[in-house]
A and B are shown apart, each in its own frame.
Chain A
Amino acid sequence: MDERARAIEELYRERYVGFRNALATVTGSYESARDAVQEGFARALASRRQFRGDGSLAAWVWQIAFRAALEARGVPEASIDDVLDPQLVAPERHPSLTAALATLSPRRRLIVFLRYFADFSYADIATACDVSEGTVAATLAQAHQALAETLEPEGALQ
């Protein structure tokens, strides 16, 4: 196995759960998200020579898995803002977080999910969502503010 294949395997073993959880907000279920992550990593492994190596491997694989998820939904060219509506899979587990997330646009919600479920860096999110790092920082700052307004009255976590 070559070095790039090993890097993809390492990424998979370390980040699988985060990828699946983040993607589940797009696909609507953990099962379909699992399929998309499996498909995404398989495509990345088969096409690893096309990874230029000058960016984040995690972001590259995420984009592939994200496309696989869109294809599975029958909307391969879908825009996050127009069609997709990332949501928590089990909103009843945290109603106040669900309410807070509902105040964000779909794109901001996806950025938040990538940050807190997939543990993506700002740079990874920028690549994954095809926006600048500054936009990610500004979006997360705005999201923090919006979430704070809803969540902080709740007080300390239970």
Chain B
Amino acid sequence: MTDDLLEQHFSRVENPLNDSDWLAVRRLARRPRRRVALVALAAAAAALLVAPAFGLGGRVLDLIRGDPAPTEVQTSFAAGNESRERLFEFAAAAGHELHDRFSPVIPGEARGVAAVETPDGPIYLWVAPTEDGRQCWLIQAGEDPATGRPYGGGSCDGIDRTRAIQPEGPGWTIERPSVLILHVRVYDAAVTRVQLEFEGRAGISLPVVSGHALGTVPKQESVHLLSVVGRNADGEVVERWTAPQ
């Protein structure tokens, strides 16, 4: 049976009515974005204060407390395991000297750490421990409407932590229409707040939760991060990161 013959059969049962309405589609598309319940920073911070640190099989998990990540996020971390492992294998096979080692993320232990509301919709920070006690994170800015998979990007702790404060962004994280995303990884537990200073624009101060700070600034043509100052609960400067010249 040919395609043409089958097409004739199907043409007998198709509905030719064209009841399309593009203007209605455009109206629907302009609806306010769904407001997903945010993982409140204050609540997460409070959970940190009351939750005792604990260990599991030698893995350090005390910095990760908060809402369990949804299945799609856990799946994303699991997929990241596969790609990271392949990357390490390829690099080793190609003879590159590795300054890091692969340790799988534990997707089932992924937790929400922070969320910020932006004109482009909420942005979430999910964190999961690795088996050797480090962390990987995913900054999620929505989901792929076709697959439901989280849309975003992330990274993992390196094995060699030479800095107590490690900023990401602006410009190194995922692209959003209206804002630039700023993420700071903090390895010093004494730091409860980070102050980000920029060239030619006002700085911002962000709380540190589970070793991470997440924030945004309105998008401008040029945003240059000059320094990140880590302060303790008393407001004293504990650490400082300065952008390389």
Chain A binder among B19-27, B83-91, B207-215? B19-27
A97 touches B146 (CB 8 A): no
CB pair B145–A50 under 8 Å, yes or no, is yes
Q: Say whether A39 contacts B28, CB under 8 Å.
A: yes
Whether A17 contacts B17 in the complex (CB less than 8 A), given A49-B177, A60-B146, comes out as yes
A30 and B145: CB pair below 8 A?
A: no
A89 CA to B20 CA in the complex, in Å?
19
Tell me the smallest distance from the CB of B1 to a CB of chain A, in Å: 4
B58 at the A interface (CB under 8 A) = no
Given the interface pairs A17-B20, A39-B28, A144-B6, the reply to whether A50 lies near B15 with Cβ below 8 Å is no
Q: Tell me whether B10 and A97 are in contact (CB under 8 A).
A: yes
Query: Is the beta-carbon distance between B146 and A88 smaller than 8 angstroms?
Result: no
Is the pair B24, A38 in contact by a Cβ cutoff of 8 Å? yes
Tell me how far the C-beta of B161 lies from the nearest C-beta in chain A, rounded to whole angstroms: 33
Query: How far is the CB of B31 from the nearest CB of chain A, in Å?
Result: 8
A90 sits at the interface (CB 8 A) = yes
* Interface residue count on the A side (C-beta < 8 Å): 42
| B151 contacts A by Cβ under 8 Å | yes
Contact B6 A157 (CB under 8 A): no
For B9, give its contact among A34, A67, A89, A94 (CB under 8 Å).
A94
Judging by beta carbons under 8 Å apart, are A151 and B1 in contact? yes
Chain B interface, number of residues (Cβ within 8 angstroms) = 37
A153 to B175, CA, bound (A): 58
CB distance from B199 to the nearest CB of A (A): 28
The prevalent SS among residues of A at the interface is helix
Residue numbers in B under 8 Å from A90 (CB-CB):
13
Chain B window 18-48, contacts with chain A (Cβ cutoff 8 Å), 1 for yes, 0 for no: 1111101111111101000000000000000
For A152, give its contact among B1, B22, B24, B145 (CB under 8 Å): B1
* Nearest CB in chain A: distance from B10 CB, A: 4
Q: Is B101 an interface position by the 8 A CB rule?
A: no
B14 touches A21 (CB 8 A): yes
Closest to A154 in B: B9
Partner of A151, one of B9, B29, B151: B9
List, sorted by A's number, 27 A–B pairs whose CB atoms are closer than 8 Å: A13-B20, A16-B18, A17-B14, A17-B15, A42-B25, A42-B26, A42-B29, A42-B31, A44-B145, A46-B31, A47-B142, A63-B146, A63-B147, A67-B148, A76-B148, A88-B13, A93-B12, A94-B12, A97-B9, A116-B6, A116-B10, A117-B10, A144-B6, A145-B1, A147-B1, A151-B1, A157-B5
Nearest 3 pairs of A and B residues by beta carbon: A42-B28, A148-B1, A63-B146
In the complex, besides A17-B20, A46-B30, A147-B1, 12 extra interface pairs with C-beta distance below 8 angstroms are: A17-B14, A17-B16, A38-B25, A42-B25, A42-B27, A43-B145, A46-B31, A47-B144, A50-B144, A63-B147, A117-B10, A144-B6
Residues of A within 8 A of B (CB): 9, 12-13, 16-17, 20-21, 24, 30, 34, 38-39, 41-47, 49-50, 60-61, 63-64, 67, 76, 88-90, 93-94, 97, 116-117, 144-145, 147-148, 151-152, 157
